[in-house]
Amino acid sequence: MMTFQLTSPAFAPGAEIPLKYTCDGEDFSPPLAWSDPPAGTQSFALICDDPDAPGRTWVHWVRYNIPAEARSLAEAQPSDARLPDGSLNGTNSWKRLGYGGPCPPRGVHHYYFKLYALDTVLELEPGATKEQLLGKMVTHILTDTELMGTYQRR
């Protein structure tokens, strides 16, 4: 069986995230794709954060209740609370819904896109924080995978 894997056609693992997916560009969410999850997967949850941010880990994206049938997210995902596929956007560290791209104050930062395969659809309203999401899904994670990209402002 293949391992659960998260990739992006926009950047390779460990490579620089292209400008258009950052605050210096269009600030679009990057396209993401993943392999088949384990049997029993009922939904996915996605968290993107930057542990290199000064003072605390900065959360760039919280998305959950992504349908179990999904195998990708196109670039430039909307920041609506509820999306047509039934998934929900949570609140990032800017206190906004949806994706906010890399915008480090200085130096190279590492951005971790973490995808979780869950054995349930979460009973959680739109706008949940990373901490609220982690608290709800902690006993429902079947497996997870991550993709890391870097960015440094010029």
Q: Where are the domains of the chain?
A: 6-44+55-141
Confidence at residue 64, expressed as pLDDT on a 0 to 100 scale:
98
Note the pLDDT of residue 74: 97
User: What is the C-alpha to C-alpha distance for residues 85 and 45, in angstroms, rounded to an integer?
Assistant: 13
Q: For 65-98, how does the pLDDT look when each residue is reduced to its tens digit (9 = 90+)?
A: 999 999 999 999 999 999 999 999 999 999 999 9
Contact residues for 25 (Cβ-Cβ < 8 A; gap 6+): 18, 19, 101
Q: Which residues of the chain have pLDDT under 70?
A: 1-2
Fold category of 6-44+55-141 in CATH: Phosphatidylethanolamine-binding Protein (3.90.280)
pLDDT of residue 154: 83
Give percent of the chain above pLDDT 90.
97
Question: Cα-flanking dihedrals φ and ψ of residue 131, to 5°?
Answer: -65, -40
